[in-house]
Structure formats: C-alpha cells, structure tokens
A and B are shown apart, each in its own frame.
Chain A
Amino acid sequence: MAADDHDVVIVGSGASGGMAAWNLTRKGAKVLMLEAGERFERADFWSHVKPWEERERRRRGERSPGFETLPLRESPYETLAGQHFLLRRVWGVGGKTNIWGRVSLRYGDLNFKEPAVDGWEIPWPVSYSEIAPYYDNVEKLIGVCGGADDSKFLPGSLHHLPPPNLRCGEVLLRQGAEKAGYTVVNGRRAVLTAEHRGRAKCHYCGACGKGCDIGAFFNSRDYLLEDAFATGKLELRENAIVSHVLTDEDGAASGVRYFDRLSGAERTVAAKRVIVAASAVDSTRILLNSKSSAHPNGIGNGSDVIGRYLCEQFRFHVYAFAPQLYGRPATNDDGISGGHIYIPRFESPEEKRDYMRGFGIQLWGIGCGSNAQFAKRMSGFGLDFKRDVRKSYPALVQMHPYGEVLPYRHNRIAVDGTPPDRFGVPTIRIEYKLGENERKMLPRMYDVVEEILHSMRAEPLPYRRGDLDELGAAIHEHGTCRMGEDPKRSALNAYMQMHEVPNVFVVDGSAFPTPTEKNPTLSILAFAWRATDYMAEQMRLGNI
C-alpha cells in the first residue's frame, strides 16, 4: 500500500463529499478525494445553445457534457423482472449537483419523529432543533431563495434570498389551491436571485438542467471544492472508481481500493479514516463489496441492514391548461427554471387516514417552455390542431405530487450473483416495489390534484388515475445505510459514523432512514456538515 499522509480519504465529490471536504479542510485536515469521473468544464455547457441550434451542433459532431453516461457504461445495474427502477447517476466532479433540481426544503420533526408515531421502522436519531443550526449555515453558505413561511410541515428560514416573481399560471394555481384550502408557499430553491458571497446572480435563462455557465446555483465544485482547494489541504484524484474499503485484522478501515478508469490499473491508498459519499446507490455497492473475515456481510454490516430499506418518493404528473391564459401573448416564463411555488405536505400523523406519512406537490413546467411536449396529449391533427397548440402554449400548468415511500426490508440493493464490471467487481441489482401504504396514498394524491385543478377552473389534459412515473425517477434514493440509535437496526449513529467501524463515516443520502416527501440535497449538506464537525472533534480528541 502506498505511503499516504492524508488524514481522511473521501469517496465522491458531490453534495455530501464536497461538504465533507469543505468542512474538514477548513479545520486543517489533509483530505484525499477520489472521484469516479472527471471535471465538467463550464465552457462546454450548452446553457445558451438555443433548442434549434442543438441539431446543427450535433451534425457538426459537437456534444454537450454527457453528465449521466459514465456510470451506466462503467457500472450498469440489474433489476428484477417486473420491477423496473430508473437509476440516474452522475459520475464527475460535483456529481449530481451539476444538474440537480435545486429544490431546498427543510425537513422537520414531523419527518424525523413520524416513524415513532406510526410505528413503521425506525425514527431519525436527530431532532429538528439539533439540525436547524446546520440548515441555517448551509443556506447562508450556498444561497437559497424562498419566502417567509414557517410551519410544522416545512420549517421556516431567516436566511432566504428574495423569491422570484410568479409566472401567470402560478398566480392562477395559487389562487385555485388557496380557494380549495391548501397552503401555497414560495418555492425554496438554491438559485442566487441576488448576488451572494461574491457570486453572480441568476440571469433567468432557464437552462439550469444543462449546467449553469456562471455557477449561479449551488454545485459542489464551485461552492465547496473551490474553497477546499484554496486551503491547500485537498488533493483530488479523478477517474478513480472506488471498489472497496479495506480493513485491517481488527476490522478497522485501513485503506481504499480503486481502479484507474483510463489505465484500468488497480490501486490502493492507505487511509486513517474513510468517508463514503458516493451517493446512496454507489456507496452501498462499495460497502457491500467490502467483505473481509471481520466483515463477511460487507463492512459495518453485522446488522444486515446495509443495502436494505431502499426508499425514495413516488410521483406522477398531471398537465392542464389555465383557460384564463388561452391565446395570451407568449411571455418569457423561464424564471429560475422549475417551480416558483410549492404546496407543502398538509396531513398530520395524528389525522385519521388509511395510510401513513404524506405527500407534497411540486409545480414546475408552467407557462411558455422550450418545447411543446404537452401537444402530444392533445387530440387531432392539422390546421385546427396547430391553432390549438398555439392557443394553449401560454396556458400550460403542471402538477407533480411527491409521496413518501415507506422503507421496506425487501426493497434493496444487492451485489450477490450480479455480473462483474470490467474490473471484476460485482455490479448491483435493485429490488424495489411499492406496498400497500403507497397504493392507499395514491388515490388521495389524485383527489387533491383534481380538487385544485377544478378550483382554478383548469382543463386537464387526458390522464389515467393511478398512473405513476417510473420508480426511481425522483432520483432521491435513501435508506440503504441508515442511521439510528439502535446498532441492531441501523448501520450508522446520529453522526453518520458506523456503529461497527468507528473510522468510517457514510455521509450521503443512504444514511437517511426515511425519504420524507421532500427533496434531500439541503438536508444532505446539513447532515454531512454536522457529521464532519463531530468527526473533526473525534480526531482532535484522538478517538479515531
């Protein structure tokens, strides 16, 4: 094993790995970060390539960054027959934060304590008052726009940047939802609507999904790794596909094995402490493959919970037209791209219902967009059809409810019996299906969507009640290396430190015991910050 004097080796450079590197380097630790992909160059982003210019560019052989191509090529995944799961990963510096949806919602005690109320699986080992200061710090660091609302369903913040103005369809949706008795709040998004800590503000080009050419929304590379590099304490190795956490005879982590993606060479680095932050699915792959005599079931997995309890949100999409907007002149509705409003969860655990947990409703894709996909759901063809599409274009509204999927033991990521990757390392199989609770929640989600659309007098495009988006499409995988108080039922303690292997921390979304109904990145940043504060203190005390 190569001599190495790094204090900490971090696997992964996305939200959680970036946060860990940022926090530890500023506290003086020397960090080696291993990233499976390469740096995405801002100059290559197609942020300002118009839709009609893309074809001509492709004809000339130009390509936009293939954010999602690498993991599927290097580490494909299997599913069981009849259990399709869409797995979307980004390998490259910054990970999924390069193209994430930027929705930044605080979890609250409603989310953390609910499993203790309804009795389904384990509660979070952290309360809102413990994590709230970290939410404050993360919001101040990265810049999150939003409103002044505050409720038990969605705890408030004093640090929001100004929320963007609403599009016409959002004005009407808000009126309709409020008339029907639902609370509508400003969307909370990690987009700079004002200059923030020396960073330029958003210029409302609406192309965030192609990568931001000025870094006006949070991404790990610009917001975390840049600062970490400036300390001189961070070394980043790209194209390092980590396969195993290595252990000594006592079962403590002693190093990391990886394969150089370009040369194919197998390499190991010594490590005094390891942070696994490769996003839920790839972290789980690494942990389960890290078998030894001390850890026959994968590192830190004596409890057999790692890989299990895979959960995220299930969702569907309903499209409609606001007739108030038919035939209006088209407007520039880009805004900060995605929804400027949000309907938070509104059901309490104490309410009598026939299902547990709940859902929130996201509202993106409203108004004049850069395509006319909605027209595929309109009937007819010919001149009348073309006229209808033009008339309807400014009137488009969309509703996207996100429901919490319960953690089930049988929903899991496994590495047994899977084909090896080109380095001979087992790839993963995802076993995932919804249960009775989701089947009971779904009709209620449709009821609420219909109630709101009716209240705003919207005309829905054809849909079938009960239809779902692909499972996995929320891209919020959780649960497969969960934290908890009880070492028999969880792999990590409240500081994301392995119960069984104290010099290993797992700081990404795999540590979350439940998916909640909310998008996780803000919480991943807050928990990773808190975990690495604790880790640095334990290092200072000489405990790890």
Chain B
Amino acid sequence: MPQTTRRQALVSIAAGLSVRTLPAQDAYEPVTFSAEEFDLLGIVVDMILPASDTPGAREVGVHAMIDEDLAKRSDPLGTLRNGLAALRADGFADMDMPERVAVLTRFEAGSGADKDFFETVKGLTIDAYYSTEVGLVQELGYQGNTYLDKFPGCTHDHKLEDAD
C-alpha cells in the first residue's frame, strides 16, 4: 500500500484523537517547573520535533509529560533547570525563530553544560513524543503489539545493491 495513502488515512483518523494524550493540555499546570520555565521548555521541545504533516511536540504535551516525569526524580532535573536559566538569561523567549535556532545549534555543537542540556532535553523529547499515539502511530506508522496468527516477516525482495 502506498505510504502516503495510509498515512493520510491515519491523519484523518488521528484528527479526532490527536490531543487525547493530554486531554486538558491547555489547562496543564506544571508541578515541577515554574510557569516561565515551562513555557521555555515548550518552545524548546517544539523546536526539536515541530509540527509537520503531524502535530509537533508541544501540541501533544511533551513538555507536560517531562514536567510530570521529573516530579518523581531529581536526575536530570538540575541539567534542565540550568539550561532553561541560561536560555532565560539570553532572552530566548523574545528572540525570533532564526535566532533561537542559532542558539540551539550552538548548544548542540558546543560542550559542557550547553551540550548536556541540549542532549538531555532532546532525549526526553524523543522518549515522550514517540511514546504517544501521534508520535508512534501517526508519525512513524507503528503497527505492533497486536494479535497476528502468522508473522509474515519481510515480504519484499531485498538485495544489498538496493543501497545504490
């Protein structure tokens, strides 16, 4: 089946459930981060996995999931707090998008606390986003964890030369 057709079908199915992962997303009150930290976090996670033909990280509530998860563990909360404080000091929220991209690009290429922050928030964003129905099914096309009578395995004829 052509990929686009299936994905379009999933998008239309998902239209009714795309925010089901966090029903009261707009009303979510952070329990770990301050309101300002939480807003910054929302900007960052959405820059890592933005909306495309599927919703972005902020829309599915990735920042809220991170807030919820870190309420129960101290690591890596410090790394996130320090990074968010650095962004705040730089006036990140008031920058335009190209400026923000430049900051995150510098963090990724950098070292020390900047790089730690970037990799930590990226890892948490990936874990959270691709654990949602939007991220896993709608975006990636995951079809697993179901009942099959037979496992068909690979049904196309692959050759190493297909890499050319």
Contacts and interface: CB of A to CB of B under 8 A. Distances in A.
Interface of A: 48, 50-52, 54-56, 164-168, 170-172, 175-176, 179, 203-207, 322-325, 327-336, 340, 368-373, 375-376, 379-383, 385-387, 389-390, 393, 455-457
Given A51-B136, A175-B159, A166 B145 contact: no
Q: Which 6 A-B pairs have the closest CB atoms?
A: A165-B153, A330-B141, A324-B162, A168-B154, A372-B130, A457-B163
A457 B131 contact: no
B73 interface: no
A170 B140 contact: no
Contact of A203 (B48, B65, B140, B148): B148
A167 B163 contact: no
Contacts of A379: 108
Given A164-B153, A172-B160, A390 B127 contact: no
Contacts of A329: 1-3, 6, 141
Given A324-B159, A370-B142, A373-B127, A52 B136 contact: yes
A415 B143 CA distance: 49
A376 B123 contact: yes
Contact of B65 (A55, A328, A375): A55
Given A55-B65, A171-B154, A205-B147, A390 B160 contact: no
A206 B133 contact: no
A372 B48 CA distance: 14
B141 A393 contact: yes
B139 to A, nearest CB: 6
B131 A324 contact: no
B104 to A, nearest CB: 6
Interface string B46-78: 011110100000000000010000000000000
A171 B141 contact: no
A164 to B, nearest CB: 5
Contacts of A390: 139-141
Given A52-B136, A376-B126, A332 B143 contact: yes
Contact of B145 (A164, A207, A322, A382): A207
B151 A336 contact: yes
Nearest to B23: A56
A456 B144 contact: no
- Highest count of chain B CB atoms <10 Å: which of A56, A171, A176: A171
Given A165-B154, A175-B160, A207-B145, 16 more contacts: A51-B131, A51-B145, A55-B21, A167-B154, A176-B160, A205-B147, A328-B3, A333-B144, A334-B148, A371-B131, A372-B130, A379-B108, A380-B108, A383-B50, A386-B49, A386-B50
B47 A381 contact: yes
A484 to B, nearest CB: 43
A54 B133 CA distance: 11
Given A165-B154, A386-B49, A369 B162 contact: no
A387 B52 contact: yes
Nearest to B124: A376
5 contacts: A50-B133, A52-B132, A52-B137, A54-B131, A205-B144
Nearest to A201: B149
A205 B147 CA distance: 6
A382 B160 CA distance: 31
A168 B145 contact: no
